[in-house]
Structure 1
């Protein structure tokens, strides 16, 4: 997978509108993995299980890039593909979307559906906000108490995100830009004379 900066969304987004009696609800969420995307889709389907359709699409950074869309019972090509096309057109990655539709009794036709599903995704993305992100990975670092201050000092000086859990030993869960990961591991290994147990990337 490339270590280049990529476009994604900053947070979850939401959109709602009505066309000819049919209610459309757009949901967008940043995701890290295909599993995240599929869990998000299932959660929306569970929450809106009384809806006529829940149309999903996602683009997830993997090797190769994973793309998925489904019409969920709408006419072929009228729903899932337009939703995915918005993500492709805006070059967004690590994004999952679901458009929920409650049918209002009036057929919209394929053209109307394409327009509505595209609009729901676009508006949900606008609500979420587009941002640029660098690929990150998770590292798990385990050290004894004597080394924990040293490791914490390195993590703080590097400005990476981390959480520390103090038990019999100290476990740091670290989120580090992929391109900086090797240097950080080398620095910690050197500072602790190899006593730090570093594993990753983790899911």
Structure 2
């Protein structure tokens, strides 16, 4: 799994008319199927009486083929949701959702025309989309002496770790999150500064 990827930082709307049909494309941050359903509900309220509300989403990192989905919402099979999803996949952006609202204008576009129409707004929007880097961190913990705490926290900061909790008992237990690529190097340096007495533990599921 990648340690980081781009995600949308703002919603974007692209509106265009294609052969008298009105297409309104929304691109936004989306982390689950539940979020895409909620967005659909809101958009249907804002844009009532449209002919179709097609969607596609990638709820996790851009290469995750499980946490994604799409819907043609009554358009011919494969003419809307699937090409929308393919467009999102090509952008290499994670946690992204897209909904395209269509008001039918009386002219049938055919399957090929629909594929192009439902992809058009997204392709335009993705070139303008504001994104930010999401850093994936993995949970870890370690126990150190009070006298070691300053050096340990300095080392964690060097590896872009985020200290989430400090438990002060007989010794100090630190709970933190760190990019996966630094896990081995962190333990090597912990051993170096403590003559081998310090070692971080990480969730085996990760």
TM-score category (smaller protein):
0.5 to 0.7
> For 2:39, which of 44, 50, 57 is the aligned residue?
44
Change (3 A) 1:145 1:119: farther
Contact 1:26 1:123 in 2 (8 A): no
Runs (5+) with no aligned partner, structure 1: none
Residue of structure 1 in register with 2:115 after alignment: 114
CA drift at 1:153:
0.4
CA drift at 1:114:
1.8
CA drift at 1:106:
3.5
The TM-score normalised by the length of structure 2 is 0.67
- Pair member with larger Rg: 2
Q: Distance in 2 between matches of 1:161 and 1:117?
A: 41
- Is 1:22 equivalent to 2:11 in the alignment? no
CA drift at 1:99:
1.6
> For 2:177, which of 161, 174, 179 is the aligned residue?
174
**Partner SS for 2:203:** strand
Deviating 4+ runs (over 6 angstroms)? none
CA drift at 1:48:
2.0
CA drift at 1:73:
2.5
Change (3 A) 1:65 1:21: closer
Contact 1:139 1:200 in 2 (8 A): yes
**Partner SS for 1:179:** helix
Contact 1:58 1:94 in 2 (8 A): yes
CA drift at 1:175:
3.5
- Is 1:127 equivalent to 2:128 in the alignment? yes
- Is 1:150 equivalent to 2:147 in the alignment? no
Contact 1:165 1:172 in 2 (8 A): yes
The one-character-per-residue Cα deviations of 1:19-64 (angstroms, maximum 9, x if unpaired) are: 23524132143x7xxxx34243233223224354141232855997
Contact 2:16 2:121 in 1 (8 A): no
CA drift at 1:78:
1.3
For the aligned residue pairs, the C-alpha RMSD in angstroms reads: 3.9
How many residues get paired? 192
CA drift at 1:183:
1.8
Runs (5+) with no aligned partner, structure 2: none
Q: Distance in 2 between matches of 1:87 and 1:42?
A: 18
CA drift at 1:142:
5.0
**Partner SS for 1:75:** coil
Q: Distance in 2 between matches of 1:107 and 1:156?
A: 60
CA drift at 1:101:
0.5
**Partner SS for 2:78:** coil
